[in-house]
């Protein structure tokens, strides 16, 4: 009874004061308009992010948040390059890894809007390398791979929602060895080479039956090349990045900008970080392979332009990149309830998957789950970067850090709780 009376009071106050709900379902009231990022939230975010730096679990971190089309938060803590004592800054360039994927999906959907394909077209219509795929059934007594025919072809929808069946693990008997030997991500080769190699490897499962992360977005980039007749790197540059003014979102960092390129750190234990020495040349040399699933670097403000285009339903400033209905389609869960095997996707919260984004389909179930508003769509990167789009609250957030392995310290959980306020169980 007490809870009902409290809810009635909140609803009454909301009517009188024009309030809206925050991402975790709690009402926020102000004299004119409710906001998520008020002074209290800013203090929470500062304390949370600086705390991770002070604990020695990250070298540096920065965050940028927009609400209702306006910047409402920016700050940076720690170092982009700890050894050089270079502070994390607004114009720091970072490796965004899989935050490349939504950009690739956007490039693909510009062709969708031109009527160049349908989502349920087989990918083999545009990439014949995938015409004669087989599906893994295990190994025989001698370790030879057993296969069965496809129940149906891989569709473009499959590669946008990660249900294609491509293997992506190192523990599948027989199949993982074939995948490793194919070396599909050899930087000295092209997307066509990647497609040819992948087309010769059996699928791990029948298309549409499971969710499994993998090379699907690299295949999307290959399809962009085939359908547009233009190299993928050129297409995404001309049709997405340049149109949005994302001039510092690049596969290759020119020499004059490398002093802004953040170092990547591996956390080997509590408070212990080791500088990475392997990935630097990925971005300071030009390679034939231009992946759709990874490989871009960016700045906070550049990536925020992408997020603002999404929350504005395809439009930024005077440029319309995609129609609002296309953004709605991308931000709609594409996973049927019958797809119950979803790998580690449930660790992201109460989510499904749209077109190159996770999509929140329900509120947090408990205080341990990642905070967020229903209808939010988002993705992150292997170096623990994160962004999300919250249409309900017209809020977009970008979090940059350079930390591997991926977010063992629950930085994302802490940041989300700081933005929205901790989960309230209520009754």
For residue 144, the 8-state DSSP code is: P
The 10s digit of each residue's pLDDT in 386-422 is 999 999 999 999 999 999 999 999 999 999 999 999 7
Judge whether 425 lies within some domain. no
The answer on pLDDT for 1 being more than 70 is: no
Q: Assign residue 45 the CATH number of its domain.
A: 3.40.710.10
- Per-residue pLDDT, 34: 72
- Per-residue pLDDT, 180: 98
Judge whether 273 lies within some domain. yes
Judge whether 375 lies within some domain. yes
Judge whether 143 lies within some domain. yes
Same domain, residue pair 282 and 377: yes
Same domain, residue pair 288 and 331: yes
∠ CA 303-117-354 to the nearest 5 degrees?
A: 45
The answer on pLDDT for 183 being more than 50 is: yes
The per-residue pLDDT of the chain, averaged, comes to 92
Please tell me the pTM assigned to this model. 0.91
Residue with tokens 């009188």: 16
Judge whether 195 lies within some domain. yes
Q: Does residue 391 contact residue 376 with C-beta atoms inside 8 Å? A: yes
Range of the domain at 49: 37-99+241-420
377-410 as b/e: b if 16+ CB within 10 A: bbbbbbbbbbbbbbbbbbbbbbbbbbbbeebebe
Same domain, residue pair 271 and 149: no
Gap between the Cα atoms of 272 and 261, Å rounded: 21
Burial label, 325 (beta-carbon count in 10 A; 0-12, 13-18, 19+) = exposed
The 10s digit of each residue's pLDDT in 78-134 is 999 999 999 999 999 999 999 999 999 999 999 999 999 999 999 999 999 999 999
Judge whether 427 lies within some domain. no
Residue 4's pLDDT band, with cuts at 50, 70 and 90, is very low
Q: Does residue 403 contact residue 58 with C-beta atoms inside 8 Å? A: yes
- Per-residue pLDDT, 33: 57
Judge whether 62 lies within some domain. yes
Same domain, residue pair 356 and 221: no
Number of neighbours of residue 349 by Cβ within 10 angstroms: 22
Gap between the Cα atoms of 226 and 223, Å rounded: 5
- Per-residue pLDDT, 406: 98
Judge whether 104 lies within some domain. no
């Amino acid at each position: 009874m007490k809870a009902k009376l409290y809810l009635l009071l909140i609803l009454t106050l909301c009517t009188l004061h024009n309030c809206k709900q925050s991402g975790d379902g709690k009402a926020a009231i102000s004299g004119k308009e409710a906001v998520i990022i008020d002074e209290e939230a800013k203090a929470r975010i500062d304390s949370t992010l600086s705390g991770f730096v002070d604990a020695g679990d990250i070298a540096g971190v920065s965050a940028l948040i927009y609400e209702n089309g306006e910047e409402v938060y920016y700050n940076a803590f720690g170092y982009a390059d700890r050894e050089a004592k270079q502070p994390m800054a607004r114009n720091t360039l970072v490796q965004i890894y899989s935050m490349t994927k939504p950009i690739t999906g956007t490039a693909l959907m510009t062709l969708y809007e031109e009527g160049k394909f349908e989502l349920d077209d087989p990918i083999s219509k545009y990439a014949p390398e995938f015409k004669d795929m087989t599906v893994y059934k295990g190994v025989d007594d001698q370790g030879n791979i057993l296969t069965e025919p496809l129940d149906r072809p891989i569709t473009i929808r499959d590669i946008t929602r990660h249900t294609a069946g491509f293997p992506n693990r190192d523990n599948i008997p027989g199949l993982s060895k074939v995948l490793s030997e194919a070396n599909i991500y050899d930087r000295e080769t092209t997307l066509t080479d990647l497609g040819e190699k992948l087309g010769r490897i059996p699928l791990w499962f029948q298309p549409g039956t499971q969710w499994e992360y993998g090379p699907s977005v690299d295949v999307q980039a290959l399809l962009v090349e085939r359908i547009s007749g233009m190299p993928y790197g050129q297409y995404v540059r001309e049709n997405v990045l340049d149109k949005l003014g994302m001039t510092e979102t690049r596969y290759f960092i020119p020499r004059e900008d490398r002093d802004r390129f953040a170092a990547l750190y591996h956390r080997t234990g509590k408070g212990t970080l080791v500088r990475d020495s392997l990935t630097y040349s990925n971005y300071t040399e030009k390679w034939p392979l231009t992946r759709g699933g990874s490989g871009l670097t960016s700045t906070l403000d550049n990536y925020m332009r992408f997020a603002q285009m999404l929350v504005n339903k395809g439009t930024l400033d005077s440029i319309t990149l995609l129609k609002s209905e296309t953004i709605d389609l991308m931000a709609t869960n594409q996973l049927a309830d019958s797809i119950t095997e979803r790998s580690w996707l449930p660790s992201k919260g109460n989510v499904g998957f749209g077109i190159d984004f996770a999509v929140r389909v329900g509120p947090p179930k408990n205080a341990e789950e990642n905070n967020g508003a229903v209808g939010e769509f988002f993705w992150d990167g292997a170096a623990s970067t994160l962004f999300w789009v919250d249409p309900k609250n017209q809020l977009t957030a970008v979090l940059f850090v350079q930390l591997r392995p991926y977010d063992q310290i629950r930085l994302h959980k802490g940041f989300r709780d700081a933005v929205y306020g901790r989960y309230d169980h209520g009754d």
